[in-house]
Amino acid sequence: MASVAFAAPILPGKLEAWKQFNNEINGSRRKEFEDQQKRVGITRQRVWLQQTPDGDMALVVQEGEEPQRAMEALAASTDAFDVWFREQVKDIHGLDLSQPLPGPLSELFIDYMQPAQRRGPDYDLPDFNA
């Protein structure tokens, strides 16, 4: 299982719209969201709100077999929910999900889990002594 994490700034004045977007995903549009996640290959997605003196951010972690391919599938999809989802993300975050995300993918540096909870092979982590 692979994972990808990224921070998506919430545009000034868009925090309430972001909360409403998440309420819809967790409520009235939950089934459509679950269908989307299955369709693009995401097995788990978590989103946090991080409020900072420099502005609000959504912290997103996606897990699946190939999260990068999932983003590509979402970018190309013509499904009505996916189109709505991309429009919301563009309005709230200023990110156009029909285009590759700006910059390189995030890089994992620490992945700790108590040994009794670990499943599968360990992740390859950078060697800071090299």
Mean pLDDT of 69-94: 95
Q: Rounded to an integer, what distance in angstroms lies between the CA atom of residue 99 and that of residue 61? A: 19
> Does the pLDDT value for residue 18 go beyond 60?
yes
Q: Rounded to an integer, what distance in angstroms lies between the CA atom of residue 127 and that of residue 130? A: 6
> Does the pLDDT value for residue 7 go beyond 80?
yes
What total of structural domains would you count in the chain? 1
Question: Would you say 82 and 71 are in contact if contact means Cβ atoms under 8 Å apart?
Answer: no
Q: Rounded to an integer, what distance in angstroms lies between the CA atom of residue 55 and that of residue 71? A: 25
In a domain, 86, yes or no: yes
Mean pLDDT of 47-70: 92
For residue 21, the domain's CATH number is 3.30.70
In a domain, 112, yes or no: no
Mean pLDDT of the chain: 88
In a domain, 130, yes or no: no
Q: Are strands 42-52 and 2-9 parallel, antiparallel or unpaired?
A: unpaired
Q: Which domain holds residue 61?
A: 2-100
**Residue 100 pLDDT:** 77
